[in-house]
């Protein structure tokens, strides 16, 4: 729940101000099939760390992933059970709403579709609400959560994900701004009507398409 979030941070205050001012907007649209770098973005070779001021420690012995809501088979997985699911490797670019992009990230983990095959979303499930171990939340259409490239990643560039980058497991949905790819993922709720998550309640777009520059609420 958002009530469990850490106290307001400099990052939170700054990003709210950016949303209010429409900072970084270029007004240009691009197409992912033609433009690898979305409008208003710049390339980096490192991987900047952004969070709400808390990097939760999640011991593997007690780690769990819960899937609830409109599902024929809601479930709770331990770390061992999660890693027994089909594994996948993929390469994708990532695009942060704070304007940096990083090309050619190699991921390893469980494809979202493999998890959904177990859970069996019901027909009324149209969106997901994601909750992280730091209390962070974000929303996605189920169709985007289930996209072919979406992965529940445990490794990056051949190494286990570090705590700073969302380890032991984070979501990666590369075709949306990276705030939608929740770190330290704890639970997935299949819902019928869209609901705003943390940044969506703080001036950021409900969908977040980088090529349409959907950074803020009214973009």
- DSSP assignment of 159-191, as one string? EEPPGGGTTT-EEE-TTS-GGGS-SSEEEEEEE
pLDDT tens-digit profile of 118-128?
Answer: 999 999 999 99
Q: What is the C-alpha to C-alpha distance for residues 119 and 149, in angstroms, rounded to an integer?
A: 19
3-state helix vs strand vs coil in the chain, percent to 5: 20, 30, 50
Confidence at residue 189, expressed as pLDDT on a 0 to 100 scale: 98
Confidence at residue 2, expressed as pLDDT on a 0 to 100 scale: 44
Residues 6+ apart with CB under 8 A from 208: 97, 176, 177, 179, 180, 214, 215
Confidence at residue 35, expressed as pLDDT on a 0 to 100 scale: 81
Confidence at residue 163, expressed as pLDDT on a 0 to 100 scale: 95
Of 117, 126, 121, nearest to 68 by C-alpha is: 121
pTM: 0.87
pLDDT tens-digit profile of 2-35?
Answer: 446 656 666 666 656 655 656 556 666 766 766 8
Q: Is residue 208 over pLDDT 80?
A: yes
Confidence at residue 13, expressed as pLDDT on a 0 to 100 scale: 67
């Amino acid at each position: 729940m958002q009530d469990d979030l850490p106290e307001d941070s400099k990052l939170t205050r700054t990003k709210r101000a950016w949303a209010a001012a429409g900072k970084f907007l270029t007004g240009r649209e691009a197409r992912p099939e033609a433009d690898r770098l979305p409008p208003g973005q710049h390339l980096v070779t490192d991987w900047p760390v952004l969070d709400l001021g808390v990097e939760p420690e999640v011991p593997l012995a007690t780690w769990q992933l819960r899937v609830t809501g409109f599902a024929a088979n809601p479930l709770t997985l331990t770390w061992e059970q999660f890693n027994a699911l089909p594994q996948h490797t993929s390469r994708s670019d990532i695009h942060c709403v704070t304007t940096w992009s990083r090309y050619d990230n190699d991921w390893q983990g469980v494809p979202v579709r493999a998890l959904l095959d177990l859970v069996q979303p019901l027909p009324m499930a149209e969106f997901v609400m994601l909750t992280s171990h730091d209390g962070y939340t974000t929303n996605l259409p189920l169709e985007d959560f289930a996209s072919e490239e979406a992965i529940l990643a445990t490794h990056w560039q051949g190494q286990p994900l570090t705590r700073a980058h969302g380890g032991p497991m984070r979501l990666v949905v590369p075709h949306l701004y990276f705030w939608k790819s929740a770190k330290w993922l704890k639970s997935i709720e299949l819902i019928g009507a869209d609901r705003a998550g943390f940044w969506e309640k703080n001036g950021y777009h409900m969908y977040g398409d980088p090529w349409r520059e959907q950074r803020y609420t009214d973009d």
